């Protein structure tokens, strides 16, 4: 089974996917490793890594293609995998799901949603942990993704939560398992 979580920056999709992976023995696959990385050296000698953001659907599809190329090996090594990304654009999202279905028997896509206050709390925590440089920049990226969002197919699973805690992860897991049972 492959579980795919989509959602805007700050929706809690990464926290939820990690919690589900840890609690239920799934492999957490990170698409972020497939994105283009650049490094720079500051005057003080510190090395800074920058992940280049995909700005076009073609760039997103190239990144997703790198992930898909690993699916044959991934499927052999792990029966159940969970991954997350924004997936806000229809063509790259549908391409990724269609290709994933060639390798995994059961592919479940869930769109993760959260209220703005919870998003702000998550972004503040990410800033504190050094995962993002700026809350303002992250909010700008989130707004841009929302402006460029292309509708999900009718019937797409959606999960709303405010806290990315264990209870939310279990509620999401229950939704996924119900759908997995319905689609078999």
pLDDT at 167: 96
Does residue 11 register a pLDDT over 80? Answer: yes
pLDDT tens track for 12-47 = 999 999 999 999 999 999 887 666 555 677 788 877
Tokens of 44: 């003080």
Segment 6-14 shows an average pLDDT of 96
Give the count of beta carbons closer than 10 Å to the beta carbon of residue 15.
20
Q: Which residue has the higher pLDDT, 180 or 80?
A: 80
The DSSP result for the chain, as a single string, is -EEEEE--TTSSHHHHHHHHHHHHT-EEEEGGGGS-EEEEE-TTS-EEEEEPPP-SHHHHHHHHHHHHTTHHHHHHH-S-EEEEE---SHHHHHHHHHHHTTT-S-EEEEEEE--HHHHHHHHHHHHHTTS-S-HHHHHHHHHHHHHT--PPPTT-EEEE-S--SHHHHHHHHHHHHHHHHHH-
Q: Identify the domain containing residue 152 by its residue range.
A: 2-183
pLDDT tens track for 117-175 = 999 999 999 999 988 889 999 999 999 999 999 999 999 999 999 988 999 999 999 99
pLDDT at 33: 66
Please give the tally of structural domains in the chain.
1
Q: Which of 11, 9, 21 is nearest to 164 (CA)?
A: 11
pLDDT at 36: 57
CA distances from 163 to 12, 127, 166 (A): 8, 17, 9
Does residue 182 register a pLDDT over 70? Answer: no
Is residue 11 a contact partner of residue 123, using CB atoms and an 8 Å limit? no
Task: Read off the CATH number of the domain in which 40 is found.
Answer: 3.40.50.300
pLDDT tens track for 92-110 = 999 999 999 999 999 999 9
């Amino acid at each position: 089974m492959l579980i795919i979580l989509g959602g805007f920056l700050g929706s809690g999709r990464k926290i939820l996917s990690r919690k589900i992976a840890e609690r239920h023995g799934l492999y957490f696959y990170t698409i972020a490793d497939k994105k283009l990385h650049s490094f720079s050296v500051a005057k003080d000698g510190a090395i800074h890594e920058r992940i280049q953001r995909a700005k076009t659907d073609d760039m997103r599809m190239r990144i997703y293609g790198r992930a898909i190329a690993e699916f044959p090996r991934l499927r052999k090594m792990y029966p159940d995998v969970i991954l997350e990304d924004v997936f806000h654009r229809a063509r790259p999202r549908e391409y990724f799901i269609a290709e994933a279905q060639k390798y995994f028997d059961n592919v479940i896509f869930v769109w993760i949603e959260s209220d703005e206050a919870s998003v702000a709390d998550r972004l503040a925590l990410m800033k504190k942990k050094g995962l993002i440089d700026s809350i303002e920049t992250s909010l700008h990226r989130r707004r841009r993704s929302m402006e460029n969002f292309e509708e999900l197919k009718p019937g797409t699973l959606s999960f709303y939560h405010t806290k990315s805690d264990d209870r939310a992860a279990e509620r999401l897991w229950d939704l996924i398992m119900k759908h997995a049972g319905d689609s078999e």
